[in-house]
Structure 1
Amino acid sequence: MRQLLAVAAGLVVLAASACSAPAPPRADAGPPVTPTGPITLPTPTGPHPVGTTVLYLTDTSRPDPWDLDVDVRELKVTLWYPTRQRDGQRAPYMTAKESELTLKSSRIVGVPYDTLSRTRTNAVKDAAPSGRKLPLVVLSPGFTKPMSTLTSLAEDLASRGYVVAGIDHTYESYATTLSDGRVAECLACEGDTDPGFGPRVVQGRAADVSFVLDELPSKWDGSGLIDRSRIAMAGQSIGGAAALATMVKDPRVRAGIDMDGTTYARIPRSGFAKPFMFVGSPEHVPGGRDTSWDRDWKLLTGWKRWLVLTGAEHQSSTDLPLLAGPLGIRPAPGVLSGARGSELTRTYVAAFLDRHLKSRPQPLLEGPSPRYSEVTFCPATCGTP
């Protein structure tokens, strides 16, 4: 299991690894800065306003894998999508209770516990969806992290004409509010050092995704917008590992992205031909600390890319570095800023999806770009750390 990484903007305590509990901040993280006020997530770059709504789904066909007293699997699914509605109530980033539990569990002190709940989003709550034949992207967050930590990416994709379904994998994050108001905490954290934990998580998440794909047509009024022949999945950390595991199991998911996640899926030795992209921190250079990408790269026989971002840390593809100011955390030197990490993530994820779900040529994915000089194409131009 990967040990916890120091996060770019000093968010060490929020950067739990795929399967590790958080550790206290490093002594060399520097003194905290004075917390700033609430921030607004980066403005989406696409032409469409963004709406969002929440579904609560219950899978009665299987027990919950983490709560042995529950014989069904409850999931919270957040949808982002294009809308014509520009005005209206903005969706909350997370609830005050979710913010409190996340900060306490991450050992963030010195800021009000509702700090994360005051982050401002761009999506209009429960706005009417618009469009037709839109591709669907499933998002899966890192271990211990709520789905809200990928909100800026989800909003951007929706503004570009995608429907996005983000899954909170119940009992795998510090706080998930369920349909009746109960807040499910991280029961899975109790076993994250057990042998086989990583494979168990990704297989459970693959089952979650397949169930959500089964249920969307009947549970969401806007599901008629979705072109179900064009589905992809992306995830951060173990959510990225789950993307590969899901693609192996579910033929409906035709392309995938792993953002800095150690992989655990069993890929057929004969090879796996669906389009796939790795994008992550320098830990993932060929021959680096994490060798799972080296192993899987050899088995990916279709279109593939392996991108390493200079200065990136484990959480650079999430919203967490954007929240450094409100959390009173000093940015570390030599590390991607939250704004730049968000820009790179949005740009390359969208390029991949536009190529494989919209059949649009993407020269950006063919080699290095002077505009995005932090991005290295591996394995040909990567060295060992």
Structure 2
Amino acid sequence: MRHLLAVAAGLAVLAASACSAPAPPRSAAPSPTPTGPATLPAPTGDQPVGTTALYLKDASRPDPWNLDVDARELKVTLWYPTKQRDGQRAPYMTPKESELTLRSLGITGVPDDTLSKTRTNAIKDAEPAGRKLPLVVLSPGFTKPMSTLTSLAEDLASRGYVVAGIDHTYESYATTLSDGRVAECLACDSDADPGFGTGVVQGRAADVSFVLDQLPSQWDGSNRIDRSRIAMAGQSIGGAGAMAAMVKDSRVRAGIDMDGTTYARIPKSGFSRPFMFLGSPQHIPGGRDTSWDRDWKLLTGWKRWIVLSGAEHQSFTDGPLLVGALGIKPAYGILPAARAAELTRTYVAAFLDQHLKSQRQPLMDKPSSRYPEVKFCPEACGQS
């Protein structure tokens, strides 16, 4: 189920999720002319962004992947508004994380630390600003570190959200823990097992609930969070995890699944909290992935099913923004990286503004001439 870099598509920089659109492994050697370090797009909100990392240990449960560990350890990266405009920009990932990620993807021909040189916008350990801000939990795809959703996280923070991104330990190619140990992908050895996806999302839901429990006591800026306004979004199996977390934990008021096959079973009586599917054409009604068709019928509250023409699985991550640094040429006909980031940021923020800030968003009601790639499903959504 696990798949590596899809060079044929020319966009997938970091591993696509197991559990969504399986593809055979491919050679991932880039061309010999990378463009130099990648730069993430500037946030679109009016507030500077700070970031910091927390390291949490859940002693109430053993790690589901490492049988030698009797407590679940998690790294949580926080992004938030700050008044500080100058300071050290946070690293995208460490050189060792870059090395392990590139090696796992089979990428050669570029320095091992290439991904660690990606330029971010958030200021490391800046003082948080604002008060009673809504909280958004983010969860990445399988094998991918939380850093692959940095562009979205920075943008949301600039718009007045606190963002808590969870690195689900042993489910990505590299996660650096508090003592400097680097946890590699032990779950990758099990991804062909029956029921794997269901087990992963149950574990991620438990991770989310634990993080929500711990934030008040573990982060000095937690008094700035309005705990009555919490949402979750994720890409690939992280999006499936958003659904699972909402079913398990009523504190999560709204959710977004970005291109992820769903696994958590919604009660037959229905599920009334707001939810949005945001995906690539593989998720059109009756398409290759039918899980959204199944779950759509059980969503009884506010809901949207949006498909982006030209998108592929990594279009909702930083992946397309990084291909130049790896010397990979994007494929013709695929949604350009900058446009994919713009659309993802715009529609995720509109959903959250409507449901966490009570700001009505006409953009969520019908297609817009500004964004012709956006198709509202199931009624006006065809293969593209």
**TM-score calculated relative to the size of structure 1:** 0.96
Identity across aligned pairs (percent)? 81
TM-score (normalised: structure 2): 0.96
Provide the secondary structure at the position in 2 that maps to 1:129.
coil
Amino acid at match of 2:146: M
Between the aligned partners of 2:380 and 2:252, the Cα distance in structure 1 is: 30
- Matched residue SS, 1:248: helix
1-structure distance, mates of 2:296, 2:56: 35
Does the CA-based 8 Å contact 1:273-1:301 persist in structure 2? yes
- Residue 377 of structure 1 corresponds to 376
Partner of 1:23: 25
- How far residue 39 of structure 1 moved from its aligned partner, in angstroms, is 2.1
What does residue range 276-291 of structure 1 map to in structure 2 within 5 Å? Answer: 276-291=275-290
Matches within 5 A, 1:100-179: 100-179=99-178
Deviating beyond 6 angstroms after TM superposition, the runs of 4 or more aligned structure 1 residues are 2-5
Shift of 1:12: 4.3
Cα deviation, 1:175-202, whole Å, max 9, x if unaligned, reads 0000000000000000000000000000
Change (3 A) 1:312 1:200: same
Aligned to 1:272: 271
Q: Say if 1:135 and 1:230, in contact at 8 Å, map to a contact too.
A: yes
Counterpart in the other structure of 2:329:
330
How far the C-alpha of 1:21 sits from its partner, in A, is 8.7
Could you tell me which amino acid in structure 2 is paired with residue 14 of structure 1?
A: L
Q: CA deviation at 1:281?
A: 0.4
Note if contact 1:21-1:189 (Cα within 8 Å) is conserved in structure 2.
no
Offset, 1:6: 3.9
For 1:78-93, list aligned pairs within 5 A.
Answer: 78-93=77-92
Change (3 A) 1:47 1:12: closer
Q: Secondary structure at the match of 1:76?
A: strand
Residue 298 of structure 1 and its aligned partner are, at CA, apart by 0.3
Counterpart residue type for residue 261 of structure 1:
G
Q: Write the deviation string for residues 118-161 of structure 1: whole angstroms up to 9, x where unpaired.
A: 00100000000010110000000000000000000000000000
Equivalent runs, 1:1-385 vs 2, <5 Å: 6=6, 10-12=10-12, 14-19=14-19, 23-25=25-27, 32=31, 34-383=33-382
Distance in 2, Cα, partners of 1:312 & 1:328: 20
- SS of 1:342's equivalent in the other structure is helix
Q: Alignment partner of 2:90: what SS?
A: strand
Q: Distance in 2 between matches of 1:138 and 1:214?
A: 13
The answer on whether the counterparts of 1:93 and 1:120 sit within 8 Å (CA) in structure 2 is yes
Deviation at 1:10, TM superposition (A): 1.1
Displacement, 1:17?
2.7
Hey, what's the Cα distance between the residues in 1 that align with 2:363 and 2:7?
Answer: 27
Counterpart contact for 2:139–2:146, Cα < 8 Å: yes
Contact 1:8 1:312 (8 Å CA) reproduced: no
TM-superposition CA deviations, 1:245-290 (whole Å, max 9, x none): 0000000000000000000001000100000000010000000000
Q: Which amino acid aligns with 1:314?
A: H
Query: 1:382, 1:347 → 2: CA distance?
Result: 19
Closer/same/farther in 2, CA of residues 79 and 249 from structure 1, 3 Å limit: same
Pick closer, same or farther for the CA change 1:21–1:202 going to 2, 3 Å: farther
- 1:116 deviates by 0.1
Unaligned residue ranges in structure 1 (runs of 5+) = none
What is the rounded CA distance, in whole Å, between the counterparts of 2:16 and 2:373 in structure 1? 24
Q: Which blocks of at least 5 consecutive residues in structure 2 are unaligned?
A: none
C-alpha contact 1:138 1:164 (8 A) present in aligned 2: yes
SS at 2:352 equivalent: helix
